[in-house]
């Protein structure tokens, strides 16, 4: 079941019918525009004229939520913004609008990224045609087709009794998280877990169990989370990937990723399970 079944994606794509209730996800220089007032933040809404002098270009209908159309578009980088607007990046947008709208904004960022990176054919360099009756652009010369990219990456929570393996990258400060890595061609997700854990931390695991998945629009990942039980090996990090890794007891955890991330949700779930077991 979809995370938000009430959001009905527009597929195949169709022309947006811009009306006063239309909700806009507008990007300028990779930032998303919010209307700010005394009542809080909100996505802009209304017909194009009611968005002031923003002049969105080539709008794309994303879907409908409670009968309201959500449309995304870009505005020119040199377009001046009045005091009614605030421009924030996608990460900073979380918590300032309803969570379902944040996910729609993530969807919008991936669709626009695909359109921006599909102007020219990667095979012959010719111009790509317009979006057709699906998320597809076809080269006008060699007929090569491009669809929005989705890059699968695993999250691996390695546990051993009451302890969990956490790592950090350069620049993270005191924050720690579980291991992660992209799946390779002709590799199952479970194989990816075994390989990434061994390559990045030097340890071996078994009992790889699926936890859940999360679209991660930075810019087009799909994060797939697994629990895995430690079976042996001493921690030896890949210094090109990590700045360090160590074991942590569930009763004394370091600073962790923000709650919006699947990695944090996995850690919280594991900690709760260990705490519940200790009370038995």
What average pLDDT values come out for the chain (280 residues) when binned by 10 residues?
80 84 92 84 76 76 94 90 88 92 96 94 96 89 95 98 97 96 97 98 98 95 98 96 97 94 97 86
Residues spanned by the domain of 179: 151-278
HEC per residue, the chain:
CCCCCCEEECCCCCCCCCCCCCEEEEEECCEEEEEEECCEEECCECCHHHHCCCCCEEEEEEEEECCEEEEEEECCCCCCCCCCEEEECHHHHECCECHHHHHHHHHHHHHHHHHHCCCECCCCCCEECCCCCCCCEEECCCCCEECCCCEEEEEEEEEECCEEEEEECCCCCCCCECEEEECCCCCCHHHHHHHHHHHHHCCEEEEEEEEEEEEECCCCEEEEEEEEEEEECCCCCCCCCCCEEEEEECCCCCCCCCCCCHHHHHHHHHHHHHHHHHCC
Domain termination residue (choose one: 96, 116, 136): 116
Instruction: Give the pLDDT of residue 280.
Output: 62
82 within domain boundaries: yes
Instruction: Give the pLDDT of residue 244.
Output: 97
Q: Work out the burial of residue 15: count CB atoms within 10 Å of its CB; fewer than 13 is exposed, 13-18 middle, 19 or more buried.
A: exposed
Residues 110 and 200 in one domain: no
User: Which single residue is written with the structure tokens 């944040």?
Assistant: 102
Instruction: Give the pLDDT of residue 51.
Output: 54
Residues 37 and 88 in one domain: yes
HEC per residue, 151-175:
EEEEEEEEEECCEEEEEECCCCCCC
Instruction: Give the pLDDT of residue 50.
Output: 54
Residues 156 and 250 in one domain: yes
Residues 109 and 186 in one domain: no
Instruction: Give the pLDDT of residue 55.
Output: 76
Residues 196 and 108 in one domain: no
2 within domain boundaries: no
Q: Please report, for the domain that includes residue 162, its CATH number.
A: 3.90.79.10
209 within domain boundaries: yes
Residues 158 and 261 in one domain: yes
C-beta separation of 23 from 45 below 8 A: yes
- Total domains in the chain come to 2
């Amino acid at each position: 079941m979809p995370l938000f079944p009430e959001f009905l994606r527009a597929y195949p794509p169709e022309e947006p019918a811009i009306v006063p209730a239309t909700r806009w996800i507008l990007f300028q220089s990779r930032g998303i525009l919010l209307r700010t007032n005394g009542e809080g933040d909100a996505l802009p809404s209304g017909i194009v004229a009611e968005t002031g002098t923003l002049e969105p270009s080539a709008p794309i209908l994303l879907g409908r939520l409670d009968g309201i159309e959500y449309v995304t578009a870009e505005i020119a980088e040199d377009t001046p913004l009045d005091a009614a607007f605030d421009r924030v990046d996608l990460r900073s947008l979380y918590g300032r609008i309803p969570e379902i709208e944040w996910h729609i904004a993530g969807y919008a960022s991936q669709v626009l990224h695909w359109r921006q990176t599909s102007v020219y054919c990667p095979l012959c360099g010719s111009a790509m045609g317009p979006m057709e009756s699906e998320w597809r652009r076809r080269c006008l010369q060699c007929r090569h087709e491009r669809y929005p990219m989705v890059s699968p990456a695993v999250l691996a929570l390695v546990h051993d009794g009451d302890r969990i393996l956490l790592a950090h990258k350069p620049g993270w400060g005191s924050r720690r998280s579980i291991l992660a890595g992209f799946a390779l061609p002709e590799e199952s997700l479970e194989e990816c877990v075994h390989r990434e854990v061994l390559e990045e931390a030097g340890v071996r695991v078994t009992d790889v169990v699926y936890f859940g998945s999360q679209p991660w629009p930075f810019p087009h990942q799909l994060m797939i989370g697994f629990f895995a039980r430690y079976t042996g090996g001493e921690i030896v990090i890949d210094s090109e990937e990590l700045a360090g890794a160590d074991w942590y007891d569930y009763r004394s955890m370091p600073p962790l990723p923000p709650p919006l991330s699947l990695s944090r949700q996995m850690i919280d779930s594991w900690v709760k399970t260990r705490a519940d077991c200790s009370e038995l």
